[in-house]
């Protein structure tokens, strides 16, 4: 793909996606879009039989900031790449180069969280881990996703994410970490993995990659509540290597005095920022109303 220009990046992507993606890949994008965008976009995304990638991008372009639409696409292509080696790599690189040319990443879309973003980036740069906690719905995952994206694209850090929302077991957590680095690993195997096994895996990855490693453990509260050994395990993970960093999100604060772990309490948005965010989320509804009037 050519170098992305300031004004034509979405148009270029529309043309490339329409011409290069088959029916199965389009369907996969649609399913991931549903998960990323949520029910407010449901009416448009329900059209599974007569849409094209360019039509979907037109819709996103009319309902959100360009950088937000490109961010969503980048995340989706990254997820699809896990199942199909390098097919989506050119699209991801193209979007990343666009943001690099602008000198920023998704800055305008993280409404009301600029300070928190910079705080967490600073802490992860000076410590081995950050524990981000707060009540559900505050945007902990969104915020840390953004931190990870910037670490990956600006500092060239290798980033891996493990979603623990569906598990309560420490053994499963360890297996899911290993699976990030070994796609053929079967997490359903019976034997439990020791901290030594995870340590060897991460150190081998460091040697192979030659760059820093950042692991994002999302929604750890269920494991934390159930497993008494969880605090000791986290403390051991923090000590694996100076170039292995950890970010964890939880609804619960973490009771640990480990100096290398920052405890970051994420509070609610200000009233003004919350109103701004609400107006943006209402845009698809207004857009659909205009479509109905035209038809």
Q: Closest by alpha carbon to 236, among 196, 281, 273, 292?
A: 196
Cβ(241)–Cβ(214) under 8 Å?
A: no
Instruction: At 103, list the tokens.
Output: 């000198």
pLDDT, position 45: 66
Looking at the predicted structure, is the pLDDT value of residue 132 above 50?
Answer: yes
Mean pLDDT of 269-292: 63
**What is the distance, to the nearest Å, from the Cα of residue 20 to the centroid of all Cα atoms in its chain?**
25
| Lowest mean per-residue pLDDT among 7-21, 26-40, 242-256, 281-295 | 281-295
pLDDT score for 18: 81
Give phi and psi for 126, each to the nearest 5. Answer: -110, -15
Edge-to-edge strand ranges of the sheet holding 213-218: 158-163, 213-218, 244-250, 129-133, 261-265
For position 59, what pLDDT does the model report? 75
Q: Which residue has the tokens 């879009």?
A: 33
pLDDT > 70? residue 7: no
Read off the tokens for 65.
């900031």
Confidence of residue 44 (pLDDT cuts 50, 70, 90): low
Distance CA 73, CA 224 (A): 32
113-268: which CATH architecture?
3-Layer(aba) Sandwich (3.40)
Q: Could you give phi then psi for residue 206, rounded to 5 degrees?
A: -60, -45
Contact (CB, 8 A) for 185 and 206: no
Position 87 confidence tier, pLDDT thresholds 50, 70, 90? low
Distance, CA of 70 to CA of 143 (rounded, Å)? 17
Q: Is the pLDDT of residue 287 over 50?
A: no
Is the full-model pTM beyond 0.75? no
pLDDT of residue 246: 97
Angle at 34 between CA 275 and CA 273, to 5 degrees: 10
Nearest to 152 by CA among 106, 190, 220, 86: 106
**Could you give the CA distance from residue 121 to residue 190 in angstroms, rounded to a whole number?**
37
What are 95's two structure tokens? 């979007």
For 94, counting Cβ atoms within 10 Å of its Cβ (0-12 exposed, 13-18 middle, 19+ buried), the class is: buried
Residue 241 predicted with pLDDT over 90: yes
């Amino acid at each position: 793909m050519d170098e992305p220009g300031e004004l034509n990046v979405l148009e270029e992507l529309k043309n490339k996606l329409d011409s290069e993606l088959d029916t199965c890949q389009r369907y996969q994008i649609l399913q991931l879009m549903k998960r990323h965008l949520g029910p407010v976009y449901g009416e448009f995304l329900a059209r599974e039989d007569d849409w094209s990638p360019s039509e979907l991008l037109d819709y996103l372009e009319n309902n959100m900031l360009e950088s937000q639409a490109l961010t969503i696409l980048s995340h989706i292509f990254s997820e699809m790449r896990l199942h199909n080696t390098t097919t989506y790599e050119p699209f991801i690189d193209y979007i990343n180069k666009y943001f690099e040319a602008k000198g920023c990443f998704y800055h305008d879309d993280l409404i009301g969280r600029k300070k928190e973003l910079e705080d967490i980036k600073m802490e992860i740069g000076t410590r081995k881990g950050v524990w981000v906690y707060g009540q559900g719905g505050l945007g902990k995952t969104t915020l840390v996703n953004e931190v990870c994206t910037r670490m990956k694209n600006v500092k060239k850090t290798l980033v891996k994410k493990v979603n623990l929302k569906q598990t309560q077991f420490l053994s499963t957590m360890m297996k899911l970490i290993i699976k990030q680095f070994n796609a053929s690993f079967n997490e359903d195997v019976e034997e439990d993995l020791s901290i030594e096994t995870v340590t060897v895996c991460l150190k081998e990855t460091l040697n192979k990659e030659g760059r820093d490693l950042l692991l994002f453990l999302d929604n750890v509260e269920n494991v934390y509540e159930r497993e008494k050994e969880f605090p000791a395990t986290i403390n051991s993970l923090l000590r694996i290597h100076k170039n292995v960093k950890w970010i964890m999100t939880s609804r619960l604060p973490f009771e640990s005095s480990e100096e290398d772990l920052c405890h970051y309490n994420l509070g609610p948005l200000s009233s003004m920022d919350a109103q701004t965010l609400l107006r943006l989320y209402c845009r698809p509804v207004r857009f659909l109303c205009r479509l109905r009037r035209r038809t």
